[in-house]
Amino acid sequence: MDPTAHIRRDLLIACSLFFALVAAARAQATVIHPSTGVPGGTFTILVISDGYASNESWKFDRAVNGLVLNGLMSDPFYNNKGDKFTIYKHFRAVAASHQSEFGFTPNYDIRKCYVDYDASAVAGKLHDAASPLTPDRIIVVSNWEGVSLGCTVDRWTYVTAGAREVGGVLEHEGGHLIAGLFDEFALPGNDTYTTPPVNGPNCSNVYAGGMPDPIWGTPSPPPLNLEECRLFATKIYRPYATCRMRGASGPFCAVCDAWMSQVLDQYSVPSLSRNAAPAPMLHGGFVVRPARLQSPARVPPPRSSIPSVSVLVQITRRKAEDNVGATAKILRIREVMAPIVKRYARTGDYVYGVVEGTNVLESGVIAGDPFEHRAYSGVPAPHGVDDTPKSASFMVMLPNLRIADLISRTIGLKFLRLDPLSGKTTGDNPDPINPEKFKKLLEGPLFAELTPDVLKSAAQNAQ
């Protein structure tokens, strides 16, 4: 037999086994939104159980129905944006009821986010449990009834089953985790806001002629520009008297609604990375499909997936105010098949670029402040906040690349912390951080870096 025929056959068998394993792993997680059971939008949420014995799956289902289906997705805003989301449910039985697979222990102390955990260990365990899915957010539902408490760290939210009786937790957290919205209330003891400067999306301490001059301009209805925002009482302003980012109930205000909607427009239809398709036209921070593709064969069908590398990164800074000198390490790395979303909208001040030599292959924005930990009990807002942690973990996608590419090429990851006021003009939204913009930003200092040698070593170990 022709030796090349053996190679082709072996490759075919290997690919078949790979996709069979992926299908088997995905079967462990079932789609609960859309209700058709077929994946829809590309903002992916995984709801995963913790502390449920094998005979308690019904209790997990009850909590998921209350928190997610009859809570988050029945809310008018999220319901109207339902086509942007795909939500999976994953039941993972443990040996004994209330035993935590991920190492969570409730401590009932708001100063400690209501739960004890090892940040690095939790990040790695949740990443492994989610595989081969690459969810944007993970909701861990804990088997504790009769108590409403939770904690949001990195890209996961821990919430007790009893929180479904209160409601509003996930709806409020979505503002932080999807669009980087700030809290619009003050914590006890926080009087005058000073630094860092902020102007948007929903808080501002910028002045012109001694008067507030917020980025949101004059939307409808006319904003009131009231003091109290970003956890401080004075010298910082929010648009309106009421908003979901201020209280436990009620809708998003007009400013927050508009920004949330714009960010979610990124997740309408899967799109190829810039490595596989021409650069998209950009308008106001979200992606518009190119008018004409170079090759019709490259147009992806709905929910199409391309090979990518998922990297779970942990960044450690020296001090909360540092813009440089942080260290980065890889907690997990794996090759995945996933829809690719261009996360260019300025939903936070931490951005990254996939860099090869002088080329920026892709860029992305990390929503919100990954170093902020939020604890809530009874109601989601006001809630306690700890923004002093030195480390944060998040997932970075390297689209249209394989593990072998990281070994054979010189591909690295660079991280920047942007000036909060950079790229913003009154009445407009922040500039999109696309690869061209990121390349210009590289003229400044780096916040952290994963060199090609570090990625190559991690890739070799992952083979």
pLDDT tens sequence across 254-296: 999 999 999 998 887 554 444 443 333 333 333 333 332 333 3
pLDDT at residue 68, rounded to an integer: 97
72-86, 292-306, 449-463 — which is least confidently predicted? 292-306
108 and 250 in a common domain: no
Report the alpha-carbon distance of residue 273 to residue 340 in Å, rounded: 6
On the question of a cis peptide bond just before residue 196, with omega within 30 degrees of 0, the verdict is: yes
How far from 233 is each of 32, 226, 336, CA to CA, in Å?
Answer: 41, 10, 46
Q: Is residue 74 over pLDDT 50?
A: yes
Report the alpha-carbon distance of residue 226 to residue 203 in Å, rounded: 10
Name which residue leads in pLDDT, 198 or 426. 198
343 and 258 in a common domain: no
Report the alpha-carbon distance of residue 402 to residue 346 in Å, rounded: 27
Average pLDDT across the chain, whole number: 86
42 and 10 in a common domain: yes
Please give the order of strands across the beta sheet that includes 306-316: 327-338, 306-316, 391-399
| Domain C-terminal end among 142, 176, 210 | 176
Report the alpha-carbon distance of residue 240 to residue 404 in Å, rounded: 52
The predicted-structure confidence for 381-414, as pLDDT tens digits, reads as follows: 889 998 888 999 999 999 999 999 999 999 999 9
The predicted-structure confidence for 239-256, as pLDDT tens digits, reads as follows: 999 999 998 778 999 999
28 and 88 in a common domain: yes
Mean pLDDT across the stretch 185-192?
Answer: 94
Report the alpha-carbon distance of residue 240 to residue 294 in Å, rounded: 46
Q: What is the CB neighbour count within 10 angstroms for residue 247?
A: 16
275 and 202 in a common domain: no
290 and 419 in a common domain: yes
Domain that holds residue 223: 180-270
The predicted-structure confidence for 135-174, as pLDDT tens digits, reads as follows: 999 999 999 999 899 999 999 999 999 999 888 889 999 9
3-state percent helix, strand, coil for the chain, nearest multiple of 5: 25, 30, 45
Mean pLDDT across the stretch 98-121?
Answer: 92
Cβ(282)–Cβ(432) below 8 Å? yes
The predicted-structure confidence for 336-388, as pLDDT tens digits, reads as follows: 988 878 889 999 999 999 999 999 999 999 999 999 999 988 888 889 998 88
CATH number at residue 18: 3.40.390.10
Q: Are strands 232-238 and 226-229 parallel, antiparallel or unpaired?
A: antiparallel
Q: Is residue 212 over pLDDT 70?
A: yes
- List, as one string, the DSSP characters of 171-213: HHHHHHHHH-PPP-SB-TT--B--SS--B-SS-B--EETTEE-
154 and 45 in a common domain: yes
288 and 237 in a common domain: no
Cβ(161)–Cβ(182) below 8 Å? no
133 and 193 in a common domain: no
- The two structure tokens encoding residue 226: 């009231």
| Domain C-terminal end among 149, 176, 203 | 176
Q: How many domains does the chain have?
A: 3
135 and 249 in a common domain: no
Give residues with Cβ within 8 angstroms of 362, minimum separation 6. Answer: 273, 274, 275, 353, 354, 398, 399, 435
342 and 239 in a common domain: no
Q: Which helix (H) or strand (E) holds 17?
A: helix 3-27
398 and 281 in a common domain: yes
| Domain C-terminal end among 176, 208, 223 | 176
Shortest CA distance to 383 belongs to which of 202, 105, 175, 165? 175
Tell me the whole-structure pTM to 2 decimals.
0.85
